[in-house]
Amino acid sequence: MSSMLDRFNELSSHLNALLNQNPAAAVKQAREINLNTNERYNLMALRAATLVDGGALTQQQDAVEEGVALFRELHAKFPNAHIIYNLANGLVATTGHPPRNANWLSHQEETRKPRAEARRHFWKVAQDADADSALRTQAWTNLANQFSNSYRLGEAQDGWLAALEIDPENGVAASSAARNLLWLYEFGECSELTRIEAMMLAKIANRHRDRIIQYAGAQAADQIAAFACELGDPPPRSAHQDPFISWVERERLTLAPVVELVDPALGKLDWLMLPGVLEKESGASGRPPPVFAMFNMLKGDFILARDLLWRANDDSAWPRTGRFGDTLDYASYGPDSSALILAHRTALDLLDKIGVVANHYFELELQPDKVYFGRMWRGELNKTTGVRKLNDKVVQAITEGARALYGLVELAEDYENSTGILRSQKDLRNAGTHRFVVLHDFGDPEQTRQTPEIERHLREPFIRETLRALRVARSAIQMLALSISQREKVMLQRTAGHAGSIVLPDHDWIRGHDD
């Protein structure tokens, strides 16, 4: 047995080294591995991994697809975290990197199915508390990379930071997060703190070259080191004195243009604003377009949902005017529990409203009362092809420059589809809206008296789900604002002669509330 294991380890080391030196030879030798042995499944995994990695390096699509087929066979027999993660990597390799040119949208649409499956697999591994930490941090990193490729930049930042929480030395995640922030900073609508945080993340990446080599290889380590050297050292930073601000920063719930640290000097936590908007209607008498009012209400609802979650953690913050019968199952009743459930529902209710704003601004021509975030972006299912094509107006907006709009399209599919990584959030929101959600301080909610009208959850996991719902809403609002900014930049470039762009003054300043 030990000699067989030694031979396997020797072959594995040989192929890994060959991938760095001569990936084409590695692919050839992987195909020559004899699988008719007692080590069949281990050898299958080794062959599959080598075919995927080597095929991607040498652009041999047939090798990548052969590796994915092997991983699917293994997944059917051994659906463990390691196989699921490798299957996801293989699916990503089949899609390739999205081009930067005009074919970007076509690529995203053509690869929509395998990319969605890869997101599901990465998400499953990232959430698996029993999986190896090295596997989980890489799953978060790769999931974030997928988000980034579709302009889901807030979710991408959440993913990279989650990867760093698991492994603070994950230089690949740190470098990717830094690049994400710098891209948004250079787009022109971020604070100086965005660049400072990018510096901090780049330095983390540069300090952990060995971990980068482990996760992504020596070539990636060299590229990240060169990138980090381009940035200076970040200035020192004091801890926040306000526990609420510390909580908002730690949980990444600031409604700013990017997911970043909180800068007390800005005076406001939630300073994301729409850009100046070119007036489209004649005879508007200089009054701001309705999109500003809608966006202000989105922000207000988000801030309220976040505040409800913060206050729900303090039962002394609520009036004790209600008398409740104890149901003898450790359930929690009262305004603090109701506030927590309402915070979750309010956060996800924002998605339909975001759809209404997008429909209005991008002139998608849907009736406002018929806008449903999960279904608004595509037409009816073609029974012949099995495809729901993007609506023409959505295609037009994206191809004209508002690529971040595609992030909303993809988020909607993860939320609406029965297998989507956000579907559980929609189901929980529907339970809180149309039935009853009851929270339990401890115990096993499944052991209580059951009825279909009530969905039961432990309080602490529900709080984590509410935090996640708030981050989803925050990311969607950020994508909406970015897509509008992208559209406005294009419109300004195309407008001949003088163009009037409306920028609104600060509401608190107008009302005399600004300190």
- pLDDT by residue (tens digit) across 58-85? 999 999 999 999 999 999 999 999 999 9
Residue 187's Cβ-count burial label (10 Å; 0-12, 13-18, 19+) is middle
For every residue of 237-266, which 3-state class applies, written as one string? Answer: CCCCCCHHHHHHHHCCCCCCCCCCCCCHHH
What is d(CA 79, CA 419) in angstroms, rounded to the nearest whole number?
A: 17
What is d(CA 419, CA 9) in angstroms, rounded to the nearest whole number?
A: 37
Give which of 351, 258, 250 is closest to 301, Cα–Cα.
351
Q: Is residue 158 part of a domain?
A: no
Phi, psi of 454 (to 5 degrees): -125, 130
Q: Quick one: CA dihedral 234, 239, 241, 242, positive or negative?
A: positive
Q: Is residue 430 part of a domain?
A: yes
What is d(CA 363, CA 360) in angstroms, rounded to the nearest whole number?
A: 5
What is d(CA 216, CA 64) in angstroms, rounded to the nearest whole number?
A: 18
Question: Tell me, what's the pLDDT at 168?
Answer: 93
Residue 321's Cβ-count burial label (10 Å; 0-12, 13-18, 19+) is exposed
Give which of 42, 50, 61, 40 is closest to 19, Cα–Cα.
50
Q: Is residue 392 part of a domain?
A: yes
Question: Tell me, what's the pLDDT at 49?
Answer: 95
Q: How many domains does the chain have?
A: 1
Question: Tell me, what's the pLDDT at 428?
Answer: 93
pTM of this prediction exceeds 0.75: yes
Question: Tell me, what's the pLDDT at 206?
Answer: 81
Q: pLDDT tens, position by position, for the chain (515 residues)?
A: 557 677 888 888 999 889 988 999 999 999 999 898 888 999 999 999 999 999 999 999 999 999 999 999 999 999 999 999 999 999 999 999 899 888 999 999 999 999 999 999 999 999 999 999 999 999 999 999 999 999 999 999 999 999 999 999 998 899 899 889 988 988 887 888 888 888 888 888 888 878 777 777 777 777 777 776 766 677 777 788 889 999 999 999 999 999 888 877 777 889 899 987 877 666 556 678 899 999 999 999 999 999 999 999 887 888 888 999 999 999 999 999 999 999 999 999 999 999 999 999 999 999 999 999 999 999 988 888 888 999 999 999 999 999 999 999 999 999 999 999 999 999 999 998 999 999 999 888 888 889 999 999 999 999 999 999 999 999 999 999 999 999 998 888 876 544 445 556 666 655 555 65
Tokens at 19, concatenated: 């991938």
Question: Tell me, what's the pLDDT at 102?
Answer: 84
What is d(CA 259, CA 478) in angstroms, rounded to the nearest whole number?
A: 9
Tokens at 285, concatenated: 């008498």
Question: Tell me, what's the pLDDT at 75?
Answer: 97
DSSP 313: T
In the chain, what's the furthest Cα-to-Cα distance? 85
pLDDT digits (tens, 9 = 90+) for 10-53: 888 999 889 988 999 999 999 999 898 888 999 999 999 999 99
For the chain, what's the residue count?
515
Contact indicator for 475, 155 with CB cutoff of 8 Å: yes
Q: Is residue 151 part of a domain?
A: no
Q: Is residue 143 part of a domain?
A: no
What is d(CA 475, CA 153) in angstroms, rounded to the nearest whole number?
A: 7
Contact indicator for 396, 377 with CB cutoff of 8 Å: no
Tokens at 130, concatenated: 């029993």
Give which of 260, 308, 268, 277 is closest to 478, Cα–Cα.
260
Q: Is residue 4 part of a domain?
A: no
Tokens at 299, concatenated: 């922000």
- Count CA atoms closer than 13 A to 98's CA, side-chain side: 21
Question: Tell me, what's the pLDDT at 285?
Answer: 62
Residue in the structure block whose two tokens are 């030694």: 6
Based on its alpha-carbon atoms, the radius of gyration of the chain, rounded to whole angstroms, reads: 25
Q: Is residue 125 part of a domain?
A: no
**Residues whose CB is less than 8 angstroms from the CB of residue 394 and which lie 6 or more positions away in sequence, other chains included:** 362, 364, 377, 378, 405, 409
Question: Tell me, what's the pLDDT at 497?
Answer: 44
Q: 475: domain range?
A: 272-498
Question: Tell me, what's the pLDDT at 170?
Answer: 92
Q: Is residue 417 part of a domain?
A: yes
